[in-house]
Structure 1
């Protein structure tokens, strides 16, 4: 049994509930939802599994300590008292990054320097090193985050953010993060045997994430993680996690997923991204106008992140597009429609009130996710 750890899955505002559901689906029960993060305890084998499987989390951090500190002395002593040697190997590299919000210790460079010095002293004593630490081995990125004088010290287990799945060879000018795209799919009742379309597919992210969900393919199967080289996580834990991902994938699950866009260049990019994700011919890509969509099957799902009309010149065109979309989908009452936009008059333009609305952030843009439930036949 490997050691128990406290893990923090960070998340964009509004999708914490989705991350918590995913954590519980992996079998971890001790789960707390906070603003922008989901905290859970598990043994160290959860680090490979969470990194591989969590579709909607931004990154997985390991909590080393949490305490109050009002002076630099307090920050130094309480940091030094933590068991850093359980995690950081003798030759480990451990740069320190930081942030401070509404705290007496507001100088981030000073906080970073003090935390670094405290960890160095602790490790030198524990490893019996008189001179300096080599820092030539695996990377352990330490973060010191202060909020209202509470200090949270973590190690970043992910490396690159988890939205970097490794399949994006190209993108449009306002790409949707893969983690948010996965959340948009997970907030629906779509099942792999239902038809699915994104009529503003851009570089294909929503359709690709839907296909990964549809075939239960772990989103991290195609990339590397910072903690793969950490000595306290037994190598067999990583091997088992990758084997589990392979065993649970349903590569023979048929899918009816389409991505369409008016821009042929974006359709080419989407195709390349799908190939890179290992989904080759699983998704149908079409260069077409939104209004040319004519579903052949009932009970489908249309999930899209259309242009928002944030630029003045585009606003009228976008508003007409929303009207056309509403008029078009009224002919297909069995279809459910899910639209992410920052346009506050979307419902009036679409022509009906959403069954449900959810506030989400697309990057720094405040948006609503308008959900219209179809009448399944």
Structure 2
């Protein structure tokens, strides 16, 4: 008999018989819930992406660091393929299996015993279980992993169609060479949630950047900042150019080039769901074909508007610049990005851009992720960079500067952004606005790695 939520059942736990009520609610069998974890503050960008992919607002729900999408079960495989290939700001695509409130191990065992794992998992695949517990009565992650793995094996032994071949002498055989199914759980304030990972490697691993540059910005965060800065519509409709004057390994520019060419970020990598029985390779082949047909890299339009001389990157570090160029080449977008080695603090005082095309442009978006003084640089270097941004992009508000005495000017918003520029900078430095002597038009709280940061936007 298959246990169902809401029913009671007897369990033997620590040698004692206990009666447990199965917590949670039964999910409709004809609906699938896909969950996309995001970095904190990036949720709205992920929702925007889902809408652009054709999903309706009623299907989408947003919570802290997570966006969920509900689709009919028969459309789940195609949705999994499309999301993995196309999403730029999500960290993973997870198939949500169950959630329930639990405060003791007897109820936990009863609840996970009722999950039909045989419906979701691949016979013979290795079962990998990861997760965490926070602010909950059940705090031992190893114990939760052990009990969950035991429940999974028990279900598969009893109900899997492949039980006759995989269950050898009472032992369920797992083979990593066949593949792996990754179950991911969270237990937060006594609420347990369980998902099946369809991505494999995290989605920010686009395959174009090896991890050899100090303190790079994550690709998913860079893509979200491009959304927040309204890069694509301004670039396509107004020929606004993009400059990153401290480009490092080139993440902003490569993500911008992928956006500009309408190229899905996952086209050059593989996903776990391609080998999963629930999804499979066929739907990914179809989704890849559709994504390639939209990309200017794979299917250039007949009347394509010139996309060159729109993206520019500069950095003082020649090695970082070489790494950025190699990354762009791996991503297939090197032809769309212009690079130069230049010191921001050297050219900023004269207000001369390191590229003549940027100097002559009518509209310029300057995007920057400079050192914060935490992982790279120190406070003096950070202040010098901020001063350079001020010299390059801002000008005095002459009426206020002339009228106010010097001590008062130092405490007020007496600089303004030059007319042709928009400026977005992410930093951990709390004194940025004071150092620029100009309050941002918009601020957004984000995390870069584990560092709480702010995206300051001037326009």
> Given the two structures, how large is their TM-score scaled by the length of structure 1?
0.94
Aligned pair 1:9/2:36, yes or no?
yes
Residues 79-137 of structure 1 show CA distances to partners (whole Å, capped at 9, x for unaligned) of 12112112112222212112111111111111111111111111111124452222223
Tell me the distance in 2 between the aligned counterparts of 1:8 and 1:340: 27
Residues 280-313 of structure 1 show CA distances to partners (whole Å, capped at 9, x for unaligned) of 2210111011253522201111101011123797
Matches within 5 A, 1:140-289: 140-169=181-210, 171-191=212-232, 192=235, 193-251=239-297, 252=300, 254-255=307-308, 256-289=310-343
Aligned pair 1:135/2:174, yes or no?
yes
Kindly tell me the number of residue pairs found equivalent between the two proteins.
372
Tell me the distance in 1 between the aligned counterparts of 2:287 and 2:377: 50
After superposing the two structures, state which structure 1 stretch, 32-41 or 292-301, moved more.
292-301
Tell me the distance in 1 between the aligned counterparts of 2:377 and 2:120: 54
Q: 2:415: which partner in 1?
A: none
After superposing the two structures, state which structure 1 stretch, 231-240 or 116-125, moved more.
231-240
Q: 1:339: which partner in 2?
A: 425
Residues 133-171 of structure 1 show CA distances to partners (whole Å, capped at 9, x for unaligned) of 222232111122111111111111111111100001364
Residues 314-356 of structure 1 show CA distances to partners (whole Å, capped at 9, x for unaligned) of 2123212212211211364211010111111101211211111
Q: 1:356: which partner in 2?
A: 442
After superposing the two structures, state which structure 1 stretch, 328-337 or 268-277, moved more.
328-337
Matches within 5 A, 1:88-107: 88-107=121-140
Q: 1:322: which partner in 2?
A: 386
SS in 2 for 1:358: strand
Which runs of no fewer than 5 residues in structure 2 stay unpaired?
A: 1-28, 354-358, 396-417
The answer (yes or no) to whether the contact 1:169–1:272 under 8 Å persists in 2 is no
CA RMSD after TM alignment: 1.8
The answer (yes or no) to whether the contact 1:70–1:105 under 8 Å persists in 2 is yes
Tell me the distance in 2 between the aligned counterparts of 1:145 and 1:84: 17
The answer (yes or no) to whether the contact 2:122–2:181 under 8 Å persists in 1 is no
Which runs of no fewer than 5 residues in structure 1 stay unpaired?
A: none
After superposing the two structures, state which structure 1 stretch, 278-287 or 132-141, moved more.
132-141
The answer (yes or no) to whether the contact 1:88–1:140 under 8 Å persists in 2 is yes
Quickly say closer, same or farther: Cα 1:186–1:307, change in 2 above 3 A: same
Q: 2:147: which partner in 1?
A: 114
Q: 2:60: which partner in 1?
A: 31
Tell me the distance in 1 between the aligned counterparts of 2:371 and 2:442: 21
The answer (yes or no) to whether the contact 1:171–1:266 under 8 Å persists in 2 is no
Larger Rg: 2
Q: 1:305: which partner in 2?
A: 369
